[in-house]
A and B are shown apart, each in its own frame.
Chain A
Amino acid sequence: MNTTELEKCIETYGNDIYAFCVHLAYSQQEAEELYQDTFLKAMELLSGIEAENNPKSYLLSITIRLWKNRKRKYAWRNRIAGFSSLEEETQEAWDVNGNTLEEEVLKKEQIRQLRQAVKKLDYKYRMPVYLYYMEEIPIAGISKILKLPKGTVKSRLYKAREILKKQLAAE
């Protein structure tokens, strides 16, 4: 992949990959590094991305692999510090639609709780949730990215929803 092709790739998939990195990583800096590394690695793996029917899935699988490697190197310390700053930033991104102020505040709070609950899910449940709801990857695609049978992806999504429902009800 030459730089022009890379630029096009970033233009097309950059936002999706970046949002995914932000949710995976524990700090803004780590998210940016992960995002950067994903595209540089994709450029190295020229044949892979060309052969894939779905470059976005391919890029996401690179992100996941890099993230797993990074996590081994990063200490826990990044986690607590990173969480709060990211939450604050992302909360500001919510728009107010036509609802009443009270409804809007309630919904905003529910969404905030849900995002936090997703962050706290076990890895095995959290990853399919991000890929399915945030990246809109179909079950078959998630199965390929995570190297899991489709049935397992489905049941993990189901279980994740059940856990999240319970947590929301308990809040």
Chain B
Amino acid sequence: MRVMVIVKADKKSEAGIQPTKETKENFVAMGKFNEELAKAGVILAGEGLHPSSKGKRVKFSGQQRTVIDGPFTEAKELIAGFWLWQVKSMEEAVEWLKRAPFDGTEVEIRQVFEVQDFPAEVVTPEHAARMQALREELKKKAAKP
């Protein structure tokens, strides 16, 4: 199964990357952890996001689209970054996450939908095939140097 590991934002992440000694130490520790994940074949993707102050939100109402400038809401509900992991169970994901070099951070693990997770009455075989084809296409694109 694939899981999305969501690293929640805090005051520090919302302030952007500060070139301090602490940031550098965190980078080194996180780099090492990422290498361990890669070696175990767990990591599929991992990205960090710019602070929400640089972001936008679009609210949908009928045909109307309202654009709201960041920063948004309380920092603890926001995302600072994420991983996609391939694991055998939620327990394995929790065990890996316990080893991550965080402090004072809240991290959430959520299972990712696979095509076969959709009920057949929602996703017809034709749609399932299109979803699968799109996945394959994106995978191929990602593999290109």
A and B are interacting partners: no
A residues neighboring B (CB under 8 Å) = none
